[in-house]
């Protein structure tokens, strides 16, 4: 067995790549498991004799054992990195791991706050305070009422906000433009913000500005949302993206169609929106617990 190659590889990771001992231990275990599989299943002890189907068979065995796709992919990554090292240093002529695809990892369900938490947060927004209070309220309200991304909110132009028509023009990914209606509550928040911005003589191409007249930046938006959700939500995550997920989830819970939500979120494909259906099923299961025979 070409185990000397493994030791040389681990030394390379330790001394040249400066990997941590924890990471080195994971690589060592992965490669030891891989070597054992090759020897037991294919009587293969030389790395130059390893074929692509050997590695694929190993991946299949790991998956069929019940191992999570993310764990399988991590182990496969160890083997791929190992063979790249062997090729680079002339120990083998060809890389049998090249082109082997990772297992598909199921998408994580997006996190959201509850409708009750959203209502309490919205009711507490201070529209009569100082500039930062009104700015924070308008930012939070815009994210929750429209589902726009943080970057889209930051890039929103003065000309994109039409409170007479009650709509926002949002430029999404791949420069795809979409129009989002503005409801009465959000309209009131934006009117209050526009008024106080005018009172402070702040003017710029961008709509949302700091008190100093500079465009908003990602950290500022995160802080605004996090500060509010810390008070009104028990959710683990309290980022602006949580409000985007909450927007979609709450619309679905109230009966909105998937295609409508897709248009509002600016998703290219419906498949990107369908993940919210899983959240809706979870919501329905909770509702069914109220049934007297459940």
- Residue 283 in any domain: the answer is yes
Task: Give yes or no: residues 83 and 173 share one domain.
Answer: no
- Residue 153 in any domain: the answer is yes
What is the C-alpha separation between 189 and 257, in angstroms, rounded?
A: 27
pLDDT mean over 154-179? 93
The confidence score (pLDDT) of residue 72 equals 94
What is the C-alpha separation between 294 and 292, in angstroms, rounded?
A: 6
Is residue 275 predicted with pLDDT exceeding 50?
yes
Of 192 and 261, more confident: 192
Which string of b and e fits 72-97 if b means at least 16 CB within 10 Å?
Answer: bbebbebbbbbbebbbeeebbeebbb
| 63 CB-near residues (< 8 Å, 6+ apart) | 69, 72, 103
- Residue 234 in any domain: the answer is yes
Task: Give yes or no: residues 202 and 82 share one domain.
Answer: no
Is residue 169 predicted with pLDDT exceeding 70?
yes
Task: Give yes or no: residues 125 and 225 share one domain.
Answer: yes
User: Of 18-27, 28-37, 103-112, 128-137, which range is least confident?
Assistant: 103-112
The confidence score (pLDDT) of residue 39 equals 94
pLDDT mean over 24-40? 95
Domain count, the chain: 2
Strand, helix or coil at 43?
Answer: coil
Q: Has 278 been annotated as catalytic?
A: no
Q: Has 244 been annotated as catalytic?
A: yes
Active-site choice (17, 173, 211, 234): 173
Q: Which helix (H) or strand (E) holds 73?
A: helix 69-88
Tokens at 214, concatenated: 């500079």
pLDDT mean over 36-47? 94
CA 223 to chain centre: 18
- Residue 40 in any domain: the answer is yes
Is residue 53 predicted with pLDDT exceeding 80?
yes
The confidence score (pLDDT) of residue 3 equals 63
Task: Give yes or no: residues 123 and 255 share one domain.
Answer: yes
The confidence score (pLDDT) of residue 253 equals 85
pLDDT digits (tens, 9 = 90+) for 254-265: 888 888 888 899
Task: Give yes or no: residues 144 and 234 share one domain.
Answer: yes
Phi and psi angles of residue 233, each rounded to the nearest 5 degrees, phi first: -130, 150
Is residue 81 predicted with pLDDT exceeding 90?
yes
- Residue 57 in any domain: the answer is yes
Q: Has 149 been annotated as catalytic?
A: yes
Task: Give yes or no: residues 32 and 152 share one domain.
Answer: no
Active-site choice (244, 245, 250, 262): 244
- Domain extent, residue 45, equals 3-88
Q: Which helix (H) or strand (E) holds 171?
A: strand 167-171
Q: Has 56 been annotated as catalytic?
A: no
Task: Give yes or no: residues 129 and 266 share one domain.
Answer: yes
Would you place residue 284 in the very low, low, confident or very high pLDDT band (cuts 50, 70, 90)? very low
The confidence score (pLDDT) of residue 294 equals 45
The confidence score (pLDDT) of residue 287 equals 46
**What is the rounded (10 degree) CA torsion for 220, 171, 256, 141?**
30
- Residue 110 in any domain: the answer is no
Asked if 190 and 146 touch (Cβ cutoff 8 Å), the reply is no
The confidence score (pLDDT) of residue 247 equals 94
Phi and psi angles of residue 125, each rounded to the nearest 5 degrees, phi first: -60, 130
Is residue 56 predicted with pLDDT exceeding 80?
yes
The confidence score (pLDDT) of residue 252 equals 85
Q: Has 85 been annotated as catalytic?
A: no
- Look at the block and give the residue holding tokens 């600016």: 266
Task: Output the average pLDDT for the chain.
Answer: 90
pLDDT digits (tens, 9 = 90+) for 100-112: 999 887 666 668 8
Compute the Cα dihedral for 214, 218, 223, 224 and give only its sign. Answer: positive
Task: Give yes or no: residues 126 and 257 share one domain.
Answer: yes
The confidence score (pLDDT) of residue 175 equals 83
The confidence score (pLDDT) of residue 109 equals 60
What is the C-alpha separation between 191 and 195, in angstroms, rounded?
A: 6
pLDDT digits (tens, 9 = 90+) for 180-189: 999 999 999 9
- Residue 106 in any domain: the answer is no
What is the C-alpha separation between 153 and 141, in angstroms, rounded?
A: 11
Would you place residue 282 in the very low, low, confident or very high pLDDT band (cuts 50, 70, 90)? low
Residue 38's CB is within 10 A of a number of other CB atoms, namely 23
Is residue 281 predicted with pLDDT exceeding 90?
no
Is residue 278 predicted with pLDDT exceeding 70?
no
Task: Give yes or no: residues 140 and 260 share one domain.
Answer: yes
Task: Give yes or no: residues 279 and 163 share one domain.
Answer: yes
Active-site choice (8, 111, 178, 241): 241
Q: Has 22 been annotated as catalytic?
A: no
Task: Give yes or no: residues 55 and 121 share one domain.
Answer: no
Last residue of a domain, one of 71, 88, 105: 88
The Cα-based distances of 47 to 13, 32, 95, 106 in angstroms read: 19, 13, 10, 32
Domain CATH code at residue 128: 1.10.443.10
Active-site choice (35, 145, 149, 238): 149
Task: Give yes or no: residues 131 and 259 share one domain.
Answer: yes
- Look at the block and give the residue holding tokens 């681990």: 10
pLDDT mean over 119-128? 94
């Amino acid at each position: 067995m070409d185990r000397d190659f493994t030791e040389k590889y681990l030394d390379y990771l330790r001394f040249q790549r400066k990997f941590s001992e924890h990471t080195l231990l994971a690589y060592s275990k992965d490669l030891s498991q891989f070597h054992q599989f090759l020897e037991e299943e294919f009587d293969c002890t030389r790395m130059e004799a390893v074929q692509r189907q050997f590695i694929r068979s190993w991946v299949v065995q790991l998956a069929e054992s019940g191992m999570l796709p993310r764990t399988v992919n991590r182990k496969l990554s160890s083997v791929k990195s190992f063979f790249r090292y062997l090729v680079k240093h002339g120990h083998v002529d060809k890389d049998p791991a090249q082109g082997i695809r990772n297992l598909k990892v199921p998408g994580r369900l997006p996190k959201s706050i509850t409708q009750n938490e959203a209502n309490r947060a919205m009711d507490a927004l201070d529209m009569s305070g100082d500039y930062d209070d009104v700015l924070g309220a308008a930012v939070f309200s815009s994210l929750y009422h429209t589902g726009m991304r943080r970057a889209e909110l930051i890039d929103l132009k003065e000309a994109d906000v039409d409170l007479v028509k009650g709509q926002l023009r949002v430029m999404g990914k791949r420069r795809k433009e979409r129009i989002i209606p503005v409801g009465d509550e959000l309209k009131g928040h934006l009117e209050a913000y526009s008024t106080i911005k005018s009172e402070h003589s702040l003017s710029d191409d961008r709509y949302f500005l700091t008190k100093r007249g500079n465009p908003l930046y990602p950290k500022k938006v995160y802080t605004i949302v996090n500060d509010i959700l810390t008070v009104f939500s028990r959710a683990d995550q309290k980022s602006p993206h949580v409000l985007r997920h909450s927007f979609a989830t709450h619309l679905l819970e109230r009966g909105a169609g998937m295609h409508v939500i897709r248009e509002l979120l600016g998703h290219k494909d419906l498949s990107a929106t369908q993940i919210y259906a899983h959240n809706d099923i979870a919501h329905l299961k909770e509702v069914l617990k109220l049934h007297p025979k459940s």
